[in-house]
Structure 1
Amino acid sequence: MTQRAGKAQPYTEALDGGWGWMIVFHFFLVNVFLMGMIKTFAIFFVVFQEKFESSSEQTAWIGSIMSSLRFSAGPLVAIISEITGEKTASILGVFLVSGGYLISSLATNIPFLCVTMGLLPGLGSALLYHTAAVLTTKYFKKRLALSTAIARSGMGLTFLIAPFTKVLIDLYDWTGITETVSQIISGWVADQNWIKRYHYHKSYLILCGITNLLAPLATTFPLLMTYIVFFAIFTGGYLAVLLPVLVDLSGNSRVHRFLGFAGFFAGMAVLSGPPIAGWLYDHTQTYTGSFYFSGICFLLSSVSLFFVPLAERWKNRA
């Protein structure tokens, strides 16, 4: 590899292997999950019909929009990819798909789901699928047909998604699924190193606190569902980054010790929290005080993380 002005020239030829196989694996997973998402809509179809008492025609529009946009949004995806690059376009696709599904948990009617589970995941699927395909062509030339065939073979594994989705719906309902998705997204975002991971942890704790402080305002069923969903999202977020933040702040050599301390204090909180909440209810005959107590605890727990920069400077000086 030649050098000019102290900088290495970019490698522009197709690799036909090496890191390219990771791109193929990415394309493979895109095929598994995106096609699985489309095929498992039949399971959600029945759930939505029962929940919203909608006709088959109305409900079918959700899946139709999602499936159609995966292909028809191709020109738009091409423009976005040329402006932002494949990596950014792919990340945008992830947020559209996951965000659409998360927001869908707040749905109260079929038109709402046409946007959150049809339009947004449809556009996200197009971004993910097209960018994955383009990246594969950039990394393979001689083995392009083979690599594409391997990636597309992921469609054959979509049969695994359907029973898994059915089990989740039967066990936890479709809103419990959002917390699981939230943890996965939170972990993925934290690993991108856009900012230090403890900032994510601090933010999620603050958001949990604010959500609980606002909980007494949820006096109707839709507002209560909104509280439940957002609290599940923020809770899943801080739980997902708890261990990575602990490793970042303590170092791998002492992680066992600090994890033990963290587990101890968490156990004390679990032990004392419900009795305190019950005591507050007994004396006030309302759960408002319990929500306020929980919200304040979340906010107080984030305070120490504001002193991390100060602690790091003190450590470096020492």
Structure 2
Amino acid sequence: MVAGKHRGSRVSPPDGGWGWVIVGCCFIVTVCTRAVTRCISIFFVEFQAHFGTDYAATAWIHSLVDCSTMLCAPIGSLVGNRWSCRVAVMLGGFLSSCGLLLSSFATNLKMLYFSAGILTGLGFALCYTPAITMVGCYFQQRKALAYGIAMSGSGIGTFVLAPVVQMLIELYSWRGALLVLSAFVANLCVCGALLRPITLQAEEEEEPCGEKQCCDDMEKPPKEGMDILSLPSSPGSSAPRQRRRWSFLSCKEYHFLLLPDFLGLAVSFLFLASGCSLPFVYLVPYALSAGVSHQHAAFLMSILGVIDIVGNITFGWLTDRRCLKPYRLACYIFSVGMEGLCCLFMPFLRSFPLLVPFAVLYGYFDGAYVALIPVVTSDVVGTTHLSLALGVVFFLHAIPYLVSPPIGGWLVDITGSYMATFFLSGAALLASAAILSVVTGIRRCRRRFDSVLMLPSCYHHGP
């Protein structure tokens, strides 16, 4: 996903070289977007106390930043296609830094809804999808490992930022902490400047899904539309290049929306997004209500973050192995299901020593599935359509991210406990894994059934 203006020789994904710089930039982008978003939950109690609001009203801040990031993800894809990843990430870094800067001067929750929620989320959206797509452009053979390292930024960022943010709040109040975060997020502009465009050769026909058992009969993603990498045409072919530049609105580019496997992924993502954000929003408040100190509650977020890194990298490395590469989707389903089980047991953990195993297990499987989302999506739609597909995938997260934290807060307000909130999270995650399992099973059965139907025809035309 690079600018059509960039000229250079067409190459295969280098699987190294400057690609590791791209991985490093994507790592910083995930730190500045996903980790900072998670750490907003540390401000939860501070906002409540300062503005005198209930759980549901305060939770809208976290909901809006998550929702804006995902809802505007297609905008990040389109900006990256129309101009370049570099422009998209630098612009997003500027907007998100300004949003956090304005938040430090907020006088009411409505102002925080706009600055910390909408403006910061829009900036994160412009950065997130283009940076992730660039990793897929530079890697093919070691794609899962590269994504695992890049996406581990959310985990290591949470590990480092959680205690740092708590310390900043104690030293400078929540306003000073947001001011420091604003300066930190401005580093996204530097990351954007390092995103060097690459011009790839046209993709050869390849199986778009690693799950051979259930995807052999899948229709291949269309190749006749605009290459998402915006391959530059020859100097004398400005008209075709102009048509390609504006063809990101072509229906052909979104033909992957009709692929059965992508539709199954889409429905699964809706349930996943409904449950995965609740533990990050309510882990610290729940720990405080159970009598855990502020420092220990923030340390739980650090534990969750550092184990998240282990899940990112180990699952990325393992699913690049030849024996597991065809089963990436199964690994993804397993990790989401384990997250759901962790949430179901959460309300019965009422002390810091008991909450530590939850943070370890939830963090590990969270890192595992997060690293596999772009890999599984790429396996389904192909690298050519990865940018637009990720935009749609993150867009599907938007509404669940918007409504689930306030619903969780509303359940806390009316029940006086966090049990219903964590049960809701666990049920949604288990439903996500179950739906994708059923879709995969149906596809597998259909493939076998079609093979049986084709058998007599093969015998009839045999020698």
Q: Is the 8 A contact 2:91 2:189 kept in 1?
A: no
Letter of the 2:171 partner, please give it: L
Letter of the 2:164 partner, please give it: F
1:5 is aligned to none
1:36 is aligned to 35
Compared with structure 1, are the counterparts of its residues 71 and 184 closer, same or farther at alpha carbon in structure 2 (3 Å cutoff)? closer
1:181 Cα deviation (Å)? 5.1
- Superposition RMSD on alpha carbons, in Å? 2.7
Asked if residue 84 in structure 1 is aligned to residue 83 in structure 2, the reply is yes
1:187 Cα deviation (Å)? 8.4
Flag as ranges the 4+ runs of structure 1 deviating above 4 A: 181-193
Q: Which moved more, 1:182-191 or 1:115-124?
A: 182-191
SS in 1 for 2:130: helix
1:127-175, Cα deviation, whole Å (9 max, x unpaired):
2110111111111122212111111222322122111100001001233
2:373 is aligned to none
Compared with structure 1, are the counterparts of its residues 179 and 39 closer, same or farther at alpha carbon in structure 2 (3 Å cutoff)? closer
1:1-47, Cα deviation, whole Å (9 max, x unpaired):
xxxxxxx8435431210111011111122223322212211211111
Return the alpha-carbon distance in structure 2 between the equivalents of residues 58 and 37 of structure 1. Answer: 20
1:82-123, Cα deviation, whole Å (9 max, x unpaired):
222110000111112111000111211111101100011111
Asked if residue 125 in structure 1 is aligned to residue 138 in structure 2, the reply is no
1:171-192, Cα deviation, whole Å (9 max, x unpaired):
0123334554566578887999
Q: Is the 8 A contact 2:40 2:62 kept in 1?
A: yes
Letter of the 2:144 partner, please give it: A
Normalization by structure 1: what TM-score?
Answer: 0.53
Matches within 5 A, 1:31-180: 31-157=30-156, 158-177=158-177, 180=180
Q: Which has the higher helix share?
A: 1
Q: Is the 8 A contact 2:29 2:191 kept in 1?
A: no
1:202-251, Cα deviation, whole Å (9 max, x unpaired):
xxxxxxxxxxxxxxxxxxxxxxxxxxxxxxxxxxxxxxxxxxxxxxxxxx
1:72 Cα deviation (Å)? 2.1
SS in 2 for 1:107: coil
Normalization by structure 2: what TM-score?
Answer: 0.37
Q: Mind listing any 5+ residue stretches in structure 2 that lack a counterpart?
A: 1-6, 194-463
- Number of equivalent positions: 186
SS in 2 for 1:40: helix
SS in 2 for 1:54: coil
Compared with structure 1, are the counterparts of its residues 189 and 140 closer, same or farther at alpha carbon in structure 2 (3 Å cutoff)? closer
Letter of the 1:62 partner, please give it: I
Return the alpha-carbon distance in structure 2 between the equivalents of residues 185 and 62 of structure 1. Answer: 18
Compared with structure 1, are the counterparts of its residues 31 and 192 closer, same or farther at alpha carbon in structure 2 (3 Å cutoff)? closer
Return the alpha-carbon distance in structure 1 between the equivalents of residues 188 and 115 of structure 2. Answer: 22
Letter of the 1:99 partner, please give it: C
Give the structure with higher Rg (CA): 1
1:54 Cα deviation (Å)? 1.6
Letter of the 2:67 partner, please give it: S
SS in 2 for 1:108: coil
Matches within 5 A, 1:191-210: none
Letter of the 2:170 partner, please give it: D
Q: Which moved more, 1:66-75 or 1:81-90?
A: 66-75
Matches within 5 A, 1:131-280: 131-157=130-156, 158-177=158-177, 180=180
Which is bigger in relative contact order (C-alpha 8 A, separation at least 6)?
2
